[in-house]
Structure 1
Amino acid sequence: MQGRGRCFKLFLAFALLLLQYAQGGEMDHNKRDTNVTRRCIERERQALLAFKRGLVDKSDFLSSWGSEAQKQDCCRWVGVSCSNQTGHVLQLDLSDEVQSEFDKVQGKMISPKLIELHHLQHLALPRIDFNGSQFPYFIGSLTNLRYLDLSWTHFGGKFPSQVGNLTNLVYLDLRYNSFTNVENLDWLPRLSSLRYLDLSEANLSNVFDWPEVVNKLPELTNLTLKECDLPSPILSTLSYINSSKSLASVDLFYNRLNNSSIFVWLSNYSASLVHLDLYGNLLAGSIPDVFGNMSSLAHLYLSNNQLEGSLPNLTNLSSLEDLFLRNNQLSGVISGTHLSKLSKLRNLDLSSNSLVLDIHADWIPPFQLHSINLESCKMGPHFPKWLQTQKNISYLRIPNVGISDILPSWFWSLCLTVEYMDLARNQIRGAFPNLTLEFSYSPEQHLSSNKLEGPIPSVLSKASHLDLSNNKLSGSISFLCSSAAIGLFFLNLSSNNVSGQVPDCLTHLENLVMLDLSYNVLSGKIPTTIGYVFRIETLKLRSNRFVGQLPSSLKNCTSLVVIDVGLNKLSGQIPEWLGVSLKYLVILMLSSNHFNGSLPSQLCHLTHIQILDFSMNIISGSIPKCLTNLTTLAQKGNPSLNISHYYVISHRRWGKLYNDDATFMWKGGMQTYKSTLGLVKRIDLSSNKLTGEIPSEITQLVGLVSLNLSRNQLIGQITPEIGNLQSLDSLDVSRNHINGRIPTSLARIDRLGFLDLSYNNLSGKIPVGTQLQGFDPSFYVGNLQLCGPPLKKMCADEVEKGPRKHTDFINQEDKDELITLGFYISMGLGFVVGFWGVCGTLIFSRSWRYAYMKFLNGLNDWLFVRIALLKRQLKDA
């Protein structure tokens, strides 16, 4: 009996061993028996070490890989897994090591010795940058591979069709590499077990039969071909349908699909599709009825196309969770009926269409939305009551929807869970209630361009991004003193009626990046605690009633890019520290104040400056000659259309971007620029008391688009090199004491669209050029000795010549002139007689024509012979 028992135990142990081997014998690092010492196969260990030598491991992620005695077992190396029974390497996966630390591991090459890993089933090297090196084609010899992920590796060269040899592949991810054009996908059907395929950013522009190829993959469930320049399918290629109808996810984001044939192909998978992304194609026409049959569809992305017509009935899409139709040309009315069966809907985006939401006030939605974006749809004038039923909203965007109602009191309880809220560009009325709410987040709130009134409640200081500009808000801004404002990154209160002084309590605004208090009635001094807002990049206090000097503490804000304190009552000298401490300034506007003294030479250290506006002050002295150090103004053009800022909110998973705007005098009128602000390079020193000459060094600022030195006391001449400013669109030096002639080089500035030289002491003739004669004469007036078009005053040389009558011209003969009227008449008659005497004879007489051609042929032969003889003589010599 005991012998039978031992036999049974041995049999059971053997059976368990066989079972483990049948399951693949794979083991995870975390599940290894640490009491058992296993050694990997030496040949495979050397192959892995050769692979490591082809990498640049900046952070020493692969420190466990080595030749030392304690590192002999490669099966214990990070990213490596082996078979429990055979010791063969089955898996090489570095995705966990490099995903969190992007670019920490870089690649030089993949060693060919990797093919020694004959049993390798899983290879994943995502985000290891091989910098355009040739794809290792020998990977096509690793025929046991079931999982291959070489995404974001930036391999180059010809597309590796050799992966078609990996017939056991189930997962293939080659997205975002740098391959050249893919000639075809003929290799793909050999991967009959493939379930996941991602070839994003591979150029498939010439692969018109891609749908037919995909149809030949019977196990495929996930297809991702983002940004592949995919063409629309040819209908003839859609006839071959041999799939298992298993396709669940199709992502064709940003391709060239432009007709309904793609919907014909997708209709084959209407029963299996769960995820469909056709964002950013050129799809036109109406949304097809085929979507009504996709009962399993949960995620539908059709944004940024050219779809038109009304929204079809979605009542059959009972599984739908995400519906994104933003930025199309859809029109018509949407009622509650359209959405009545979408009980699982979580995210809805119908923005930037011409849709009208006609939803009854008593309608109760069957869903609870997390995000809503209805921008530019029409849903006013009343505030939509159905929003009151939504308890889980984290993203609410309904700007420019025609609401002119009073903001309801229940709205704020709705916003307790909101992270992003945008109600801008409506006509929402009323005052903020006395809020005592406690938000779950530090929300981003956009309420600009409405008609909100009353004081700003302190509860809003908890926002991370608060835009209340262009309203009718009043009262003080004492809410900034709340300790909750420590999380404030962006604050725009411009164009309101807030008043009083800015409280000197800004020390806790350590995260504030943008502060705009322009166009209010704030008074007093700029508080010294502004110097504690160390991260600030944009400071706008324009058009208020601030007095005193710029606080010296501001020099601590070394990240400042924009300062605009124009249209105030600030005084004192322009501080030298502006050019010393604030080296990143791009826009500096101190216009319309009471600044005095001279321009400090330290301003020439502002190498990034694009807009320098000190106009309408009482600044004296001369213009510094060191302006040539303003290197950005000394370069033509600008790579960026706007001036943008990016900042990261610590508790969010994403960063924020905002673009600056600026308002200034341009060609005689106030203009505001934003989307093209980066292109504006200007210096405005007008309406001051500047003396001396215009420094010639200013002509080295070839990037200048606008230069205004008008209404000063400048003397001397306009430098002859003014024509170097070829980017100049506007030049104003009017109302000075400038003398001399207008430089002829000024006429060579082709872009010049505005010129004012009036009320100086300029003299002589206005240089001839299409630009200068095209300006209104008023831009030259006040220069008594200036003459020539477009002025009516003629120059002396033109007066001496004067207009002569035709008869006087004929009767008078200048004895000193060789060319007279008789000369022109004789020349004309001679031409007529000579031309018709020769050419007329050749035209009308055949015999003369033949004789003439014979003469030319003979002359040609004679010249040919003479040249040949001359060449021979020279050669013999």
Structure 2
Amino acid sequence: MEILASVTFLLILSSLCCFTIIPGLCSESSNTKCIESEKKSLLDFKSSLKDSHNLLSSWEGSDCCNWKGVSCNNETNHVVSLNLGYWHLFNGLSTAWRIGGELSPSLLALNELNHLDLSSNDFGGIAVPEFIGSLKKLSYLNLSNAGFGGRIPHQLGNLSTLRYLDLNSFYFVHDLYVDSLAWLSRLSSLQYLDMNSVSFGNIGDWFVSISLIPSLSVLKLSHCKLKEIPLSFSFLNLTSLTYLDLSNNEFYSRLPNWLFNLTSLQYLNVQFNQFQGSMPDEFARMTSLEVIQLGNNELVGPITRTISFLCKLRTLDLSSNNITGDTASLAEISAGCAGSSLEVLNLRDNNLTGNLSDWLVKFRRLDTLDLGHNSLNGVIPGSIGKLSALKYLTLTHNGFNGTLSESIGQLSELILLDLSFNSLDGVVSDVHFANLSKLEQLSLASTSLAFGMSSSWIPPFQLKLIGLHLCKLGPKFPSWLRTQKDYSVMDLSNTEIEDVAPNWIWNLSEKILMLDLSYNLISGKLPSTLEFASISILDLSNNKFEGTLPTLALSMEYLDLSNNMFTGNILRLVSYPLPILSHLFLANNLLSGPIPSSICQDVELYVIDLSNNQLSGELPTCLADIWTLTALNLANNNLSGEIPSTLGSIKELRTLHLGGNHFKGELPTALQNCTTLVTLDLGGNEITGLIPAWIGELLPVLRILRLRSNFFNGTIPSQLSRLSSLQILDLANNSLSGTIPPSFGNITAMAQTHKPNERMLEDMRNAVRASVNNYGPSGYMESLLVVIKGREQEYSQNLQYVASIDLSNNQLTGHFPRELCDLVGLQNLNLSSNRLTGRIPDEISKLKLLESFDISMNGFTGSIPTGMSVLTLLSHLNLSYNNFSGRIPSGYQLQTFDYTSYLGNPGLCGPPLNKCGSNKTIFSIILACADGDDECDSEKLGLYLGIALGFVTGFWAIWGVLLFTKTPSEAYFEFLDKLIDKAPFARKMGRYDEEDDEETSSQTY
């Protein structure tokens, strides 16, 4: 719409120039003959330019009025127009063939010049010449996108007759700026002003200067870094303004009040700012409005229903705000006169609720409807088929359900249909597409729609985009796809196809950019070469493809062949340079042989993932030549030798996986230069030496450190605690000694809780699919094997939320550091199979997120802290083979574990072990209390001591007399012996005592 309005204005302006303002501008008459002095001026001007491709080759001969781009007045023969804009000179030449150089002031000899166009050339950042301000009769000046830079000269304010000024510099990086706008206020005749992408810096009074131009009709100030805008204005002189573009600035306020006094305004664009508040009802006063673009702001609340009064409104764009309310507001707008005029309705990415119903058909002129990324629900009504003018229909990312109405097939003008990411189900047949002969883009991705076309069906359309991810197309390849010859993007991933890839699928046209067949069960072999195709993105991962790798097209940017059964080596794939290849995924195949040094030719690679293959040999040292590399994953192969120190030259490296190989030697100190490393995984190798302190000192953003199953020795460097972002620390299965650094309690990332983002992986995957340009350095999904809950698990999409410390199977000594209990974000803590002693601190209860806790096979003593019973997320516990004693704390949590969690602690009792009461004496209780049992406090200890003293006193009061008085004692024991000898059950009593002893013994470990 913006382009249409601009073109309309230019056509009007051109007509004025031709017939009123600039006589002779529209024709280069052969009856005129230029003035000699002006001819010389033009030749001097030409000589100052760089015209290496002779765009001004016609500038020769005696009559300059016939030169290309030069127009003269038919009556006076004066040069009145100089049109050297690239698009005027363009004759099918390369866009690199533009004029540049310097601008000679010889133009000042053209006294009658009123039209100067130098647009879309490349003057290499030179300043706009001040002498242009002396061309007094200029009414038209177009310097847009011509490569000028620096400050715009104030002398342009001298052009009092100027009606058209275009300084747009959107397509160039040169910084064109203004330091004052006072000169603008002197251009009293100005009707058209375009300063898009000119930096206004900190000019706070920009609006004051512009508001003093009474005849201004078109104002374009997009991308100008404007920050301040007055909310009210006492004197507004812009009564002629019909076109206002303030988009892509930095305004942070509500919509200004003066805006609604511009009653002549037809086009309003303030999108991509931070305007706040609700939509004012004052829009009803702007009855001339045809286009409203308020998208990408922070507007809230419902849509003002006064929009329904704007009878000329053709475009309403409120996308990417916080608009709320249900669709009742849309129903009211459709009932007003705006419903009869609207052609574009874009409410994408808001918080609208409700459903669609028959009110939708009242927008009878609608050709674009975008309600994507809202919270709409219900069925898509069949009445939508009555929107006969509809060309673009987008309802993606909502809650629509049910089947798809066959009335969709009546939208004969439809070009784009996007119903992706909804809960649609049922069968789609050829009836749904019967009349869609103009359809070019079809996206039904992430629905549950099943395609039930007949095998003989021939679509009436030729699609350019086919997005059917997660639809049910299989088990055979849909035969109708064979008819599509012009597509550039085809996504058939996860569509239940279980078939041999047909030969026609490899008939890739020159237009193709992306082919995604991933997550199916497609088998077969690839063609020996794909060099014939211009494909950029090829994803065949997670299928059953086999055979050798193909040679690739030079246009390949993203290649994913992982999780298949490809064999052979990778030399064929990288035998020649692939100049723009950025992502190479070949993981989980059967590839063998060495990594060829020719891979280093692909110097634009961001990601290399060759993990889980059978690659062998040493790493090529030339990997350092791939300076763009951010992720290198070679884990789980048969690679050997030492880790090349040249890897330290890859300054942008963020992920390094070399685990599961046979690398030897010490960790190269050159890796300390990789200061952007986030993941360092060297586990499962044969690396020796000390864990270097520089890991904690020089790798400040490290989040994952996995060195398990190597031959590291010495102590754990306390410097690792400086890694504030560290979430996974795995040093298990080494020969480390010494104590656990108490400073580990300072690791910030583990002292915070990590709540998963609710956005699903499918959203991320689809966002990447949406545009080829999104396949950048962030296109690598990190994954890692983590030992948690006694087994090895692979984490990928949730890896960023895992917090784990594993120091098991080493020779660590000392106590359990109380400081570890400050790591409240920990989910896994494994200190098993070391030589740790002492008690478990009571503060262990602070680790509320702990899911797995293993301290087995150490020398811990004392009782189990009662606070462990509040660790309700704990699902794996192993305290076995220590020296714990006392009762297992009561409460539901600790009794849910199997008795093997407590095995090998002779002093422990209580569920799930034996009951404690039968084996405890007062004296054992007192000893346990003296040892610090958690069940004892000072009052209980006093009670137990009192009972013990009473027992001792009573015992010696009675039995002391018997023991030390011979006659009574002998008489008493003699009486007992006789009584036992005569008892018929004596033998049985003895057997029962033996069994009781055995039972007690069996319950005590």
- Cα distance in 1 between the residues matched to 2:501 and 2:759: 35
- 2:195 corresponds to which of 75, 79, 82: 79
Answer yes or no: is the 8 Å Cα contact 1:500–1:522 preserved in 2. Answer: yes
C-alpha distance in 2, partners of 1:653/1:706?
35
CA shift, 1:64, in A, is 5.9
- Counterpart Cα distance in 2 of 1:507 and 1:192: 64
3-state SS of paired residue (2:407)? helix
Letter in 1 for 2:557: P
Cα 1:494–1:142 change in 2 (3 A) is same
List aligned pairs for 1:354-503, cutoff 5 A: 354-356=472-474, 358=476, 364-391=482-509, 392-409=511-528, 412-413=530-531, 416-433=533-550, 435=551, 439-460=553-574, 462=578, 463-479=581-597, 481-503=598-620
d(CA) in 2 for partners of 1:15, 1:554: 69
Q: Provide the rounded CA distance (Å) in 2 between the counterparts of 1:642 and 1:13.
A: 55
Q: Distance in 1 between matches of 2:660 and 2:243?
A: 65
CA distance in 2: counterparts of 1:665 and 1:303, whole angstroms: 38
Look up the SS of the partner of 2:412 in the other structure.
coil
1:121 maps to which residue?
A: 242
Q: Residues 276 and 301 of structure 1 are in contact (CA less than 8 Å); yes or no, is this contact kept in structure 2?
A: yes
Would you say 1:752 and 2:869 are equivalent positions? no
Classify 1:690/1:257 alpha carbon distance in 2 versus 1 (closer, same or farther; 3 Å): closer
State the Cα deviation string for residues 84-116 of structure 1 (Å, max 9, x = none): xx9612122112x34xxxxx3323544425732
Does residue 341 (structure 1) correspond to residue 460 (structure 2)? The answer is: yes
- 8 Å contact kept, 2:397–2:421: yes
- The answer to whether the Cα contact below 8 Å between 1:211 and 1:233 also exists between their aligned partners in 2 is no
Cα deviation, residue 289, structure 1:
2.0
8 Å CA contact 2:496, 2:521 repeated in 1: yes
Q: Tell me which moved more, 291-300 or 446-455.
A: 291-300
Out of 407, 425, 433, the residue aligned to residue 290 of structure 1 is 407
In 1: Cα distance, 2:480 partner to 2:453 partner: 15
CA separation of 1:380/1:774 partners in 2, compared to 1, >3 Å: closer, same or farther? closer
Measure, in 2, the Cα distance between the counterparts of 1:762 and 1:665.
25
Contact 1:764 1:795 in 2 (8 A): no
Pair 1:350–1:63, CA change in 2 (3 A): same
The verdict on how the C-alpha distance between 1:408 and 1:639 changes in structure 2, with shifts beyond 3 A counting, is: closer
Contact 1:561 1:587 in 2 (8 A): yes
Distance 2:747 2:812 in 1: 20
Deviation, structure 1 residue 390: 3.0
Structure-to-structure mapping, 1:270-281, within 5 angstroms: 270=388, 272-281=389-398
State the partner residue of 2:285.
165
Structure 1 position 207, deviation (Å): 4.4
Counterpart-to-counterpart distance in 1, 2:889 and 2:752: 27
Aligned residue for 2:779, secondary structure, equals strand
- Alpha-carbon deviation of 1:706? 1.4
Q: Residue 255 of structure 1: CA displacement?
A: 2.9
Corresponding residue for 1:154?
274
685, 691, 700: which one aligns with 1:583: 700
- Give the Å deviation of 1:402: 1.9
Contact persistence 1:361–1:384 (CA under 8 A): no
CA separation in 2, counterparts of 1:771 and 1:475? 52
1:329 corresponds to 2:448: yes
Structure 2 residue aligned with 1:134: 254
Partner residue, 1:781: 903
Aligned to 2:435: 316
Structure 1 contact 255–280 (Cα < 8 Å) conserved: yes
Amino acid at match of 2:589: N
Contact 1:446 1:466 in 2 (8 A): yes
CA distance in structure 2 between the partners assigned to 1:442 and 1:604 by the alignment: 43
| Letter of the structure 1 residue corresponding to residue 311 of structure 2 | S
Match for residue 197 of structure 1 among 292, 295, 316:
316
Give the superposition deviation at 1:760. 1.4
The unaligned stretches of length 5 or more in structure 1 are: 1-11, 21-26, 46-58, 99-103, 803-815, 817-877
Code of the residue aligned with 2:334 in structure 1: it is V
How far has the Cα of 1:603 moved from its partner?
1.2
Select the residue among 232, 248, 251 that pairs with 2:370: 251
1:315 touches 1:339 (CA, 8 Å); kept in 2?
Answer: no
Cα distance in 2 for partners of 1:387, 1:543 equals 37
Aligned equivalents of 2:759, 2:679: Cα separation in 1: 13
Count, aligned residues = 747
Q: Does 2:242 match 1:105?
A: no
Q: What is the DSSP-based 3-state SS (H/G/I as helix, E as strand, rest coil) of the residue aligned with 2:868?
A: helix
Deviation at 1:477, TM superposition (A): 0.6
Cα pair distance change 1:36/1:586, threshold 3 Å? same
Closer/same/farther in 2, CA of residues 526 and 71 from structure 1, 3 Å limit: farther
Aligned residue for 2:602, secondary structure, equals helix
Normalising by structure 1, report the TM-score.
0.78
Conserved in 2, the CA contact under 8 Å of 1:458 and 1:482?
no
CA contact (8 A) 1:623 1:692 kept: yes
What residue number does 2:424 align with? 307
1:588 CA displacement:
0.3
Q: After the TM superposition, which residues 226-245 of structure 1 pair with which residues of structure 2 at under 5 Å, given as runs? A: 226-232=348-354, 235=357, 237=359, 241=362, 245=364
Q: Which moved more, 1:203-212 or 1:546-555?
A: 203-212
Worse-superposed segment, 637-646 or 777-786: 637-646
Question: C-alpha distance in 1, partners of 2:189/2:17?
Answer: 27
Q: Percent identity?
A: 33
Counterparts of 1:621 and 1:408 in 2: how far apart (Å)? 58
Q: Deviations over 1:594-628 (max 9, x none)?
A: 10011112112111111111011000111112112
Distance in 2, Cα, partners of 1:14 & 1:295: 42
Does the 8 Å CA contact 1:204/1:230 hold for their aligned counterparts? yes
Alpha-carbon separation, structure 2, partners of 1:668 and 1:516: 25
For residue 405 of structure 1, what is the amino acid of its counterpart? Answer: G
**Do the aligned residues in 2 keep the contact of 1:107 with 1:128 (CA within 8 Å)?**
no
Distance 1:738 1:300 in 2: 66
Q: Verify the 8 A CA contact 2:382 2:407 in the aligned structure 1.
A: yes
> Structure 1 CA distance, aligned partners of 2:429 and 2:466?
15
Paired position in structure 1 for 2:221: 94
Q: 2:214·2:237 contact (CA, 8 Å) conserved in 1?
A: no
Q: Structure 2 counterpart of 1:203, which letter? A: I
Counterpart secondary structure, 2:629: coil
Residues 261/668 of structure 1: CA separation in 2 closer, same or farther (3 Å cut)? closer
Question: Are residue 515 (structure 1) and residue 632 (structure 2) matched?
Answer: yes
Residue 608 of structure 2 aligns to which amino acid in structure 1?
L
Name the amino acid aligned to 2:342.
Answer: L
Say if 2:534 and 2:556, in contact at 8 Å, map to a contact too.
no
Q: Secondary structure at the match of 1:612?
A: strand
Over residues 184-225 of structure 1, what are the superposed CA-to-partner deviations in whole Å (9 max), with x where a residue is unaligned? 42x223221222221223525234152452363333322212
Q: Structure 2: which amino acid aligns with 1:700?
A: D
Normalised by the size of structure 2, how large is the TM-score? 0.69
1:663 corresponds to 2:785? yes
Shift of 1:258: 2.8
SS of 1:778's partner is helix
1:724 aligns with 2:843: no
Deviation at 1:573, TM superposition (A): 0.7
| Structure 1 CA distance for aligned equivalents of residues 569 and 554 of structure 2 | 23
Q: Is the 8 A contact 1:375 1:397 kept in 2?
A: yes
Q: Matches of 1:772 and 1:363 in 2, distance apart?
A: 59
Secondary structure at 2:749 match in 1: coil
Q: Which residue matches 2:136?
A: 35
Residue 449 of structure 2 aligns to a residue in which SS?
Answer: strand
Tell me by how many angstroms 1:690 deviates.
Answer: 0.7
Task: Using the TM superposition, give the Cα deviation of residue 529 of structure 1 relative to its aligned residue in structure 2, in angstroms.
Answer: 1.0
> Match for 2:546: what amino acid?
R
Query: Secondary structure of 1:762's match?
Result: strand
Contact in 2 for aligned 1:590/1:615 (Cα 8 Å): yes
